[in-house]
Amino acid sequence: MRRKVKHLFNYCVVPGQEKAVLKTGKTLEQFVAGLGLDGIELMVYRNVPYFESFEHLAVGVHLNYWPMWLAMYRNDKKTLQRFFPSKEALQEYYGTTYCMGWLRSIRANIKSALVEKPEYLVWHIAECTLEEVFTFEFKHSDLEIVTAAAAVFNRVADEIPEDVLVLFENLWWPGLRLTDPAVVRAFFEKITHKNVGIMLDTGHLMNTDPSLQLERDGIEYILKIVKALGQDRKLIRGLHLNCSLSGEYVKTFKRVYDDKCSNIERMKHVIKIDQHRPFSDTAVQKLLRAISPDYVVHELAYNDFNDFEQSIALQLAACGKVVPGGDEGG
């Protein structure tokens, strides 16, 4: 029998973040408690532990990831040279210039995450080159990517204790999109770590269908995809709960790659696709009932923590929950 669902929110340690939280008049602990949440999903995108421990709050940890990694794993020097013409550029993106160094970096990242003693780790399964982000002309199939991703994971999985759950996250790029049940099955058949599952990012899944216009449309679409997974729907142990209705942008942006594009410009483009807005429609409760996840992470975009607090409260209300002091939801 599954445990009571834990509601969390995404938290990234960046310079000034603690001060940003304190501007709400609360500490991070008080911010969590004030919303009636169970903790945080901590982003650990580094190879050394944080100076300050978040063990008392970090129920889960999101590992580092590289949107473009296949060329590094395959030692595809032609592709790497095209996008990273200097060793400095290669080093800046991967933290190294060769595959074994990259795998060591992944191991170090896992070790740093485990310092927080999380119940679960999150690992992205997708591949997208710096060009494909804009052109959407993908050169690799979902099956090809999940096969390579499983091989990468298995190379480093011995770093992860058996009692730590690994949740693989879907994106809208080639890989574990979740839209093809055969690909999902093929991926998990290749994984050697036994304690695994899916972290279903609702916004990422909505991004696979640009025809969606309303929250309720998105919810019904997610339910359809989940139902199609059959017995493998039981692999879904967590939700990154957020709404993305970016179809108009996806259908109209120019499919052109500028190799002079900066990281900031690239991120602005990705954010227009992947909106991370809160759900406000109570139909989202159908998702929670159908999936019965162990973890619901309110993974939302925000300008400041007052804005973040309001967005989380809005989505909690849609889920049938209220902040402490209100009436209990369904």
Digit-coded pLDDT (tens) for 264-313: 999 999 999 999 999 999 999 999 999 999 999 999 999 999 999 999 99
What's the pLDDT at 128? 98
* pLDDT one-digit tens code per residue, 141-191: 999 999 999 999 999 999 999 999 999 999 999 999 999 999 999 999 999
Q: Residue 143: which H helix or E strand, with range?
A: helix 142-156
Q: Is pLDDT at 327 greater than 60 in this prediction?
A: no
Q: How confident is the model at residue 195 (pLDDT cuts 50, 70, 90)?
A: very high
Provide the pLDDT for residue 190: 98
Are 68 and 89 in contact by the 8 Å Cβ rule? The answer is: no
Average pLDDT, the chain: 96
Q: How many residues does the chain have?
A: 330
Tell me the per-residue pLDDT of 40-90, one tens digit each, with 9 for 90 and over: 999 999 999 999 999 999 999 999 999 999 999 999 999 999 999 999 999
Q: Residue range 79-106: average pLDDT?
A: 97
Q: Is the dihedral of CA 243, 247, 252, 255 positive or negative?
A: positive
Q: What is the pLDDT of residue 15?
A: 87
Rounded percentage of the chain residues whose pLDDT exceeds 70? 97
pLDDT at 316 over 50: yes
Query: Which has the closest alpha carbon to 171: 281, 65, 319, 99?
Result: 65
Q: Is a pLDDT exceeding 80 seen at residue 320?
A: yes
**52: exposed, middle or buried (C-beta count within 10 Å: 0-12, 13-18, 19+)?**
exposed
Q: How many CA atoms lie within 13 A of 286 on its CB side?
A: 15
| Whole-number pLDDT of residue 330 | 38
What's the pLDDT band for 322 if we cut at 50, 70, 90? confident
The percentage of residues in the chain with a pLDDT greater than 90, rounded to a whole number, is 95
Q: Which helix (H) or strand (E) holds 288?
A: helix 284-291
pLDDT the model gives residue 241: 98
- In this structure, is the dihedral angle defined by the CA atoms of residues 14, 18, 24 and 28, taken in order, positive or negative? positive
Torsion of CA 88, 89, 95, 97, to 10 degrees: -70
Query: How large is the average pLDDT for residues 234-242?
Result: 98
Q: Reply yes or no on whether the pLDDT at 138 is more than 70.
A: yes
Q: What is the pLDDT of residue 328?
A: 46
CB 56 within 8 A of CB 11: no
Helix (H) or strand (E) holding 7: strand 6-12
* Local confidence band at 329 (pLDDT 50, 70, 90 cut-offs): very low
Classify 220 as helix, strand or coil.
helix
Q: Report how far residue 297's alpha carbon sits from residue 23's, in angstroms, rounded to the nearest whole number.
A: 23
Instruction: Please say if the pLDDT value at position 326 is more than 60.
Output: no
- In the prediction, which pLDDT does 324 show? 77
* Residues pairing with 196 in the sheet: 166
Single pTM value for the model? 0.96
Task: Render 222-278 in DSSP notation, one character per residue.
Answer: HHHHHHHTGGGGGGEEEEE--B---HHHHHHS-----TT--HHHHHHHHHHHS--BP
Q: Which residues contact 167 (CB under 8 A, 6 or more apart)?
A: 60, 120, 121, 122, 123, 196, 197, 198, 199, 237, 238, 295
117-137 in b/e form (b: 16+ CB < 10 A) is: ebbbbbbbbbbbbbbbbbeee
Amino acid at 161: P
Reading the block at residue 31, the tokens are: 């911010």
CB of 70 closer than 8 Å to CB of 127: yes
Number of CB atoms found within 10 A of residue 98's CB: 13
